[in-house]
Amino acid sequence: MRRREMLGALAAASALGQSPKRKSGIGCECAFAPPAAFPPGSQVFKDVGSKLRITDMKVFGVTLDEKIARADRPYVFVKIETNQGVVGWGEATLEGKAGAAMACVNDLRDFIVGSDPMQSEHLYQLMYIGSFYRGGPVLGSAISGIDQAIWDIRGKVFGMPVYELLGGPVDSRGVRGYYHAAAWTLEEARVLRDKTREAGVTALKFQLPDLLEWVETNRKLTRAVKHMEMLRQGLGPDIDFAVDFHARPSPTVAAIILREIEPFHLFFAEEICPPENIRAMQRAARKSTTPLATGERLIAAYGYNDLIDLGVVDVLQPDIAHVGGITALWKVAAAADAAGIRMAPHACEGPVGGIASLHVDAAIPNFLAQEICGLMEAGEMNRVWEDLMGFAAMRMRDGRYPLPTKPGLGFEVSEVALKKYPFQGTRPFPPAFHEDGSLASL
């Protein structure tokens, strides 16, 4: 009942949009007159849209104690309020640039406040295309936070979890996940194997043992290969393990390591080289039979075009807090699905984005596994998440993240709890340096 009321009666679309009048004499003949109404273009939808309107958008910076979470990533949460009491939450956390992400959310305010949140696709276009300067992680993260909040509202209005709006769930038991892990000796790897089996977890991800240069020495190449050999030996055959190269090597060095680790049958090797030059990545990718994954630093579906069309990798890893929210993550997944590429979304920020990602995961047939930058043992960070969300967010049961069941994204963030973790400013992503003092890629 209430739902119908919100959507309003859809009247026949009689009114044509007014053509914008050219304004002359301002020195730029290509400029259109600034829109009289905000959000721009909203008046042309007055007879076809819902009666729901966004009345306010708030952005919250959330800093955890440095002992609990890294200082480069205060969470950035977006809250959108409407004229009918429905609110939505999203996450725009951007590592090392929380201040910029918060400012960018506010820069987009005129597109959002006053608009109809049922127009999620139109508003996504308005924020991405309408921004003129497209893409980039700052805009991408701001759009992500707003888009998630809009989808949260949409789900609540329809009375459905977001994954149902997206055509899911593909598997109602939940979505497969993996934790981060470390083991530096065979004994440690064996202990980890037992713990992993006990927890019902089926996949883990590890780091490389060294920082790497663009050409490498015997010592470091040997150590990288031996590390993965040891992991396979210690973990046994039935735990999938991925290794995050974290863009440390060049294609040159990655190709050597990939050739030698083929017999260890990794889950995937991630970010085998830096992300900007897709054709350079392709050089190494062509020589590898280990599945390759990348994509956490790329923005919007456009950012993944070359990776998909050139057939460079086997797994894409967009981050729902950067790629452009639910709208963009779903589009990347759709293009990847058509090309036989799987999705293992990245998530190394807060609990809101993690849960939003689960909704998309649940609705895509080409889903592989969901990351969360957490360890098998629930730590202090998980206690804070429980405080913020009211439940143990992003913890697996039997190797899967259970699907939320409530409408929208399926949670309420406690503003009372938010006040306990006030924003303390942004710290940069911590850099790493080689032996000679030069900056390492990380």
Chain positions contacting another protein, by CB under 8 A = 213-219, 221-222, 250-253, 255-256, 258-260, 273-274, 276-277, 279-280, 282-283, 286-287, 434, 436-439
- Least distance from C-beta 252 to another protein, angstroms? 4
Q: Which is nearer to another protein, 215 or 442 (CB)?
A: 215
- Token pair 């007159």: residue: 33
Distance (Å, rounded) from C-alpha 404 to C-alpha 160? 10
Q: Which is nearer to another protein, 160 or 221 (CB)?
A: 221
- Least distance from C-beta 260 to another protein, angstroms? 7
- Least distance from C-beta 214 to another protein, angstroms? 4
DSSP reduced 3-state for 149 = helix
Which residue spans within 251-318 are E strands per DSSP? 269-270, 292-294, 315-316
Phi, psi of 389 (to 5 degrees): -105, -20
- Least distance from C-beta 218 to another protein, angstroms? 4
Q: Which is nearer to another protein, 248 or 400 (CB)?
A: 248
Catalytic residues, by residue number, are 246, 346
Q: Which is nearer to another protein, 249 or 408 (CB)?
A: 249
| CA distances to 91, 240, 360, 397, 430 from 343, in Å | 20, 16, 10, 21, 28
Residue in 163, 30, 62, 23 with CA at minimum distance from that of residue 419: 62
- Least distance from C-beta 434 to another protein, angstroms? 8
Which residue spans within 254-365 are E strands per DSSP? 269-270, 292-294, 315-316, 342-343
CA dihedral 37, 40, 46, 51 (to 10 degrees): -90
Residues in the chain: 442
Q: Which is nearer to another protein, 261 or 363 (CB)?
A: 261
